[in-house]
Structures are given as C-alpha cells and as structure tokens.
C-alpha cells in the first residue's frame, strides 16, 4: 500500500521525489535488549540527527518494514537546491555542452569490437565538456531535465557527504556527528543507497532503466569473461572510484595472462629437461651418489644415510631449478616495468575521458572527523592567518610516535610467530625422523615422497598460513584504529596512510617465512661433530642436499594458493 503496489518503486509515496539514500533503525519502543534509559538516549540522538538532516535541506519519509515490524526504513531525498549547493562545495564536474571533438580510432578497433558489449543493449555514453559546478553559472550547464542532471551515483554521493557531517550530540564541547558513528553504536542498523532494480530481472517500473540488470547480464555474468568491460556504464552507475577500480582490475588480469603463459612455458621446459639434469643424474647414479654417505640430520634417533635417497626430490627440484626459472625471473622484472608504465597510460586515458584530470589539483574536502577536533589555533606560516587544527605540534609528534610504535610492535609480533614456526620445525623434525617410517605401511612410492623433510615442510607451511591469515584479520582492524587515531586531514591522506600500514604489515606477514627458507635456513648449522643448537637443545635445520628451492616452492604454493581460495570464499560464496 505504501508504494501503491509498485514494489520496484525508487520514489517516495508521492511518486515524484527520488529515494537517494535509506537509513534503517530498530524501533526503540519494541527493543527488548537494552535498558529503558539507553533506549531513550538512542531515540533522542536519532531524533536530533534526523532533525538536523531536515535543517540541512534533506527530506525524509519513514516506512515500517513489511517483514519485521521492529524495523523502520527512513527514505532520504535531496531536493534540487541541496544538490546544487553541495555539488559546488564538493567541486563535482558536470556537463557544459556536447563534446564535438573528433576522436581518433585505433587500427585495431575492428578487432576490439568483436569483444565489446552490444551497443544496441548498452548504448555508448554521450561525451560532454565539463566543469566544476557553480550555482552562479547555472545557465551555462547542460540541463535538459533537473531530475536527471545529477545521476543516481552523484546524488547518493552528495547525500552521503551530508550524512557524514551532520551532528547528533555534543559532549565536553566536542561535537559528535556522522552516520558511521551512529552505525557503530547501533542507533542505526544500516545505511545504503538503492539499486535501481533486481539483478535477476527487469524492473516492473517502466520509467526505470534497469541498469543493474544490464550490468549483470552483459558484464558480471560468467559468460562474459572474454568480453571487454563496459567501463563507461560502470562509471555512470557506480561512480568514478569504483569505475577506476574495475578498469585497473581488468588491465591487471590481462597483463597477468601474458605472465601466466610465459610461466607455464618455463614450467613445461623444466618438466621436459628434468631427466637431463646433470647433478640429479649424479645423485641417482649408484656409482656416484650411491657411494656418498651423509651424516645424521639429528642426534640419537637419526642414522647415517645414502645420498641416493634424495633421488626423487632432486628430480622434482630440477623442474623449478632450471634455465627456464632464470628466464622467467628476468621476464617478470621486465613485465613489472611494462605493467606500471602501460597502466599509467591507461589511467591517463580514463582521466581524460572521464574528466577527472584536475580532481587532485582542486582543494579536497577536509574529513569531518578532523574538522570536529579542530580546537587549537595556530598561525599559518605561509598565509600568516590563524587556523584551527586538532592538535599542537607536540601532540602531533606524540600521535606519530604512538602510531609508529604500534606498527613496529605488530611487525615484531610477526617475526616472533616466524621464530615459533622455526622452533616447531626443529622439534617436529625429530619426531618425524624417529616415527614416520614406523607408521607408514604403504608402498615404497609413499616412503619415497613422504620424507621427514617433506612432512615437516608441509605441516609448517600450513600452520604458517593459518597464523598469517589470523594476524592479517586482526591487523586490518588495528590498522584502521591506528589511522583513526592519527587523524589525517583529507580522505586521500587517510587512504594513503592506511595503505602504507597494510602494505608494510602484509609484506612482512606473507613473506617473512619465505625469506627464512631462502636466505637463513641451513646457513648456521656448524659442521659434523660440532652442530649449532637453538635454545640449547634444538639442532639447527639443514637444507635438503638438492637445495631449498623445492621447499620454498611448497611454502609459496600453500600461502598464495590458500590466500586465493580464502579470498574467493569471501567474495563469491559469502554475500
């Protein structure tokens, strides 16, 4: 009834005002989980917030959920005046007139057309000359219809900008504001813009373009894996930020395809030439390797052993430790450079086509969290004018020192976990050396491959992977808390700071165990009769006689493969 029997409606009850954002809260009078005083406080904060939204020009309409009476949906609409005001504040670029410049088409245009989306289904976007919006020059902009001048992505972006800055309480002269804080404290259950339709079928509303349905059918569906992405359409529906992400993802995937082909070629070369590997032949030769007796790899339970025992592992090692691997390493060094330079070109093209070239040059808006804490007055050395900042120079140094210390603490925690894995490897190798052969009652082939070294390597790699993923999940939350405490001025500063922290941590987290195997394992073992011990009782690990490359490959395969499976579970199987 609320929607006049139009379940796909994107408008208020009057059918005129578009829903730009939706806020969801649980009716405080029907909540049973909190104290009555807490419910009253939450209701008061919500009412103040909604009142301030109205004072900022937004229009609200509440609708109770059909499925759950406790839930209330607050529909938010931004009228024309509000959109114009904040478009100017946010420096949003909008169309002035049609772009009448002739575009040069590539010589391969006919070929790329075979992989493009059908232009009859998703029509090419019209190109315009654009400029940052200014209300005083309203007549210069290309306005055919006020309802469509701001596309849904821009409307939602403007409304979110307002929602993030509206106050709901003041405590100790510090303003509390923003939808994110209200979501964190549970006053609102959710806040989101609406899709225009279901992705499974067209909207029943004849005025709805069903762009989400078209994106799914012509872009996101697995059958379109070999088609070029409709980037202009993605940008129109989701905005520039998500558009540039998928542009990068598609470019990266295409470049990885080249690297994958070369990698498979080098791997096949290793497989074909493994039988011609000189040192592997010598290890397997009974007249050479069969006459070489090796010292015990552990005390008491280990015995002397013959070098020919490592025959099979030396053959496997020749697959990776070959001339093909050297070629692939050199190729990847060149590939990285080409990838970076070609991406810069592609990014410049998109910046020109989407008119975002001057975006970074314009004054970026200060984050509301930063603005709210600006209580200290300082003199700007350049403009010689007083400015409000959230902390003094001393306060900034304290924050930076705390944040740096926190990052170093977590990196040291990773190193501690690696040391723990090393101790596990040393202790469990003794157990496998003593008992593995007794418990394997299978064929000779199983005995040949399931050696104490291999069992230790695989189990340690699996444990290392689990530790890596747990630390990664925890640190992701810690990094956000550290960056919030750091209080960067703009959103770009915030994202750069968070990215740096995540990169430093993840680099050490993912690859510290690989660094150990590649550069430290087997380097400090002493000599026969005088081995080196860890913690006074664990004899230091030795490399396989063939080298460490097979173990390093196992470690990398488990980490990279496990991470890929985990990410796909998160992105595909979970909603």
DSSP string covering 367-413, please?
Answer: PHHHHHT--EEEE-TTT--EEEESS-HHHHHHHHHHHHHHHHHHHHH
Instruction: Report if residue 424 sits inside a domain.
Output: yes
Top pLDDT among 546 and 302 is at 302
Question: What value does the CA radius of gyration of the chain take, rounded to a whole number of Å?
Answer: 31
Residue 154's pLDDT band, with cuts at 50, 70 and 90, is: very high
Q: Tens digit of pLDDT for each residue in 466-484?
A: 999 999 889 999 999 999 8
Residue 327's pLDDT band, with cuts at 50, 70 and 90, is: very high
Q: What is the pLDDT of residue 421?
A: 87
Instruction: Report if residue 359 sits inside a domain.
Output: no
The whole-number average pLDDT for the span 514-540 is 78
For residue 205, pLDDT beyond 90: no
The whole-number average pLDDT for the span 32-53 is 85
For residue 192, pLDDT beyond 70: yes
- Domain containing 485 equals 391-574
Q: Do 109 and 251 reside in the same domain of the chain?
A: no
For residue 449, pLDDT beyond 80: no
Cβ proximity of 308 and 283 under 8 Å: yes
Q: What is the pLDDT of residue 23?
A: 96
Q: Do 127 and 142 reside in the same domain of the chain?
A: no
Q: Do 114 and 210 reside in the same domain of the chain?
A: yes
Q: Do 409 and 291 reside in the same domain of the chain?
A: no
Q: What is the pLDDT of residue 73?
A: 94
Q: What is the pLDDT of residue 448?
A: 55
Distance CA 62, CA 116 (A): 43
Instruction: Report if residue 374 sits inside a domain.
Output: no
- Nearest CA to 231 out of 353, 94, 358 is that of 353
Residue 157's pLDDT band, with cuts at 50, 70 and 90, is: very high
Q: At what angle do helices 491-515 and 549-568 cross, to 10 degrees?
A: 140
Per-residue burial over 424-450, b if 16 or more Cβ lie within 10 Å, else e, is ebbebbbebbeebeeeeeeeeeeeeeb
Distance of CA 146 to the CA centre of its chain: 37
The dihedral through the CA atoms of 189, 191, 196, 199 has a sign that is negative
Beta 538-539 vs 533-534: how paired, if at all?
Answer: antiparallel
- Nearest CA to 436 out of 563, 297, 533 is that of 297
Instruction: Report if residue 386 sits inside a domain.
Output: no
Instruction: Report if residue 360 sits inside a domain.
Output: no
Phi, psi of 12 (to 5 degrees): -65, 180
Q: Do 117 and 167 reside in the same domain of the chain?
A: no
Distance of CA 271 to the CA centre of its chain: 35
Instruction: Report if residue 379 sits inside a domain.
Output: no
Q: Domain boundary at 354, 380, 406, which?
A: 354
Q: Tens digit of pLDDT for each residue in 512-521?
A: 888 888 888 8
Q: Do 35 and 107 reside in the same domain of the chain?
A: no
Q: Do 152 and 255 reside in the same domain of the chain?
A: no
Q: Tens digit of pLDDT for each residue in 166-189?
A: 988 877 777 788 898 899 888 999
Looking at 133-207, which runs of residues are DSSP E strands?
Answer: 167-171, 174-177, 190-192
Q: Do 262 and 395 reside in the same domain of the chain?
A: no
Instruction: Report if residue 542 sits inside a domain.
Output: yes
Q: Do 8 and 149 reside in the same domain of the chain?
A: yes
pTM of the model: 0.81
The whole-number average pLDDT for the span 565-571 is 84
For residue 360, pLDDT beyond 70: no
Q: Do 209 and 188 reside in the same domain of the chain?
A: no
Q: Do 534 and 561 reside in the same domain of the chain?
A: yes
Q: Do 415 and 506 reside in the same domain of the chain?
A: yes
Q: Tens digit of pLDDT for each residue in 383-436?
A: 777 777 777 778 888 888 888 898 889 889 988 998 888 888 877 877 776 665
pLDDT averaged over the chain? 84
Instruction: Report if residue 381 sits inside a domain.
Output: no
Q: Tens digit of pLDDT for each residue in 265-295?
A: 999 998 888 888 888 888 888 888 888 888 8
Measured at the CA of 518, the angle between CA 270 and CA 418, to 5 degrees, comes to 130
CA distances to 94, 142, 230, 234 from 98, rounded to whole Å, are 12, 8, 21, 21
Q: What is the pLDDT of residue 269?
A: 92
- Nearest CA to 204 out of 39, 26, 5 is that of 5
Most confident of 227-236, 315-324, 353-362, 385-394: 227-236
Q: What is the pLDDT of residue 100?
A: 75
Helices (H), 203-362: 211-215, 231-238, 240-273, 278-284, 311-320, 323-353
Please give, one letter per residue, the 3-state secondary structure of 328-373.
HHHHHHHHHHHHHHHHHHHHHHHHHHCCCCCCCCCCCCECHHHHHC
Least confident of 39-43, 115-119, 377-381, 490-494: 377-381
- Residue 472, number of CB atoms within 10 A of its CB: 17
Q: What is the pLDDT of residue 434?
A: 67
For residue 258, pLDDT beyond 90: yes
Q: Specify the DSSP element, H or E, that contains 48.
A: helix 36-55
Report the domain count for the chain: 4
Top pLDDT among 486 and 60 is at 60
């Amino acid at each position: 009834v609320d929607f006049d029997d139009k379940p796909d409606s994107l408008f208020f009850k009057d059918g005129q005002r578009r829903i730009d954002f939706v806020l969801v809260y649980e009716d405080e009078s029907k909540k049973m989980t909190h104290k009555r005083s807490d419910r009253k406080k939450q209701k008061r904060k919500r009412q103040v917030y909604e009142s301030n939204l109205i004072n900022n020009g937004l229009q609200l309409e509440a609708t109770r959920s059909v499925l759950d009476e406790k839930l209330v949906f607050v529909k938010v609409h931004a009228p024309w005046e509000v959109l114009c005001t904040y478009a100017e504040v946010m420096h949003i670029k909008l169309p002035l007139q049609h772009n009448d410049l002739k575009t040069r088409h590539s010589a391969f245009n006919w070929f790329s057309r075979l992989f493009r989306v059908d232009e009859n289904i998703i029509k090419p976007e019209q190109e315009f000359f654009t400029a940052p919006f200014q209300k005083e020059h309203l007549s210069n902009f290309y306005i055919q219809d006020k309802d469509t001048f701001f596309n849904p992505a821009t409307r939602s972006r403007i409304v979110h900008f307002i929602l993030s800055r509206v106050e709901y309480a003041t405590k100790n002269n510090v303003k509390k504001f923003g939808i994110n804080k209200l979501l964190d404290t549970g006053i609102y259950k959710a806040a989101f813009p609406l899709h225009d339709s279901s992705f499974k079928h067209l909207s029943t509303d004849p005025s709805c373009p069903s762009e989400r349905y078209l994106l799914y059918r012509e872009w996101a569906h697995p059958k379109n894996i070999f088609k070029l992405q409709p980037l202009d359409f993605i940008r129109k529906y989701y905005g520039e930020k998500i558009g540039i992400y998928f542009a990068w993802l598609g470019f990266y995937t295409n470049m990885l395809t080249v690297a994958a082909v070369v990698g498979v070629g080098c791997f096949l070369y290793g497989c074909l030439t493994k039988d011609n590997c000189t040192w592997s032949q010598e290890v397997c030769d009974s007249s050479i390797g069969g006459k070489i007796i090796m010292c015990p790899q552990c005390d008491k339970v280990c015995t002397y052993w013959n070098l020919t025992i490592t025959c099979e592992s030396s053959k496997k090692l020749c697959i990776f430790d070959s001339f093909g691997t050297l070629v692939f390493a050199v190729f990847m060094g060149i590939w990285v450079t080409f990838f970076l330079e070609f991406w810069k070109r592609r990014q410049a093209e998109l910046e020109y086509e989407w008119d975002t070239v001057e975006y970074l040059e314009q004054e970026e808006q200060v984050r509301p969290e930063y603005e709210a804490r600006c209580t200290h007055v300082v003199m700007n050395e350049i403009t010689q004018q007083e400015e409000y900042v959230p902390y003094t120079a001393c306060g900034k140094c304290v924050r930076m020192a705390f944040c740096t210390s926190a990052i170093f603490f977590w990196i040291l925690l990773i190193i501690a976990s690696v040391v723990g894995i090393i101790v596990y490897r040393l202790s469990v190798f003794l157990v496998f050396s003593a008992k593995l052969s007794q418990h394997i009652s299978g064929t000779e082939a199983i005995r040949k491959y399931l050696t104490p070294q291999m069992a230790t390597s695989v189990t340690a790699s699996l444990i290392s992977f689990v530790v890596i993923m747990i630390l990664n999940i925890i640190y992701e939350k810690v990094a956000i808390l550290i960056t919030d405490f750091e209080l960067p001025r703009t959103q770009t500063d915030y994202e750069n700071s968070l990215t740096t922290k995540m990169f430093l941590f993840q680099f050490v987290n993912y690859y510290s165990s690989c660094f150990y195997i590649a550069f430290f394992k087997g380097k400090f073992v002493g000599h026969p009769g005088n081995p080196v011990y860890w913690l006074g009782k664990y004899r230091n690990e030795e490399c396989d006689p063939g080298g460490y490359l097979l173990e390093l490959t196992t470690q990398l395969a488990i980490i990279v493969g496990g991470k890929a499976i985990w990410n796909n579970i998160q992105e595909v199987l979970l909603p």
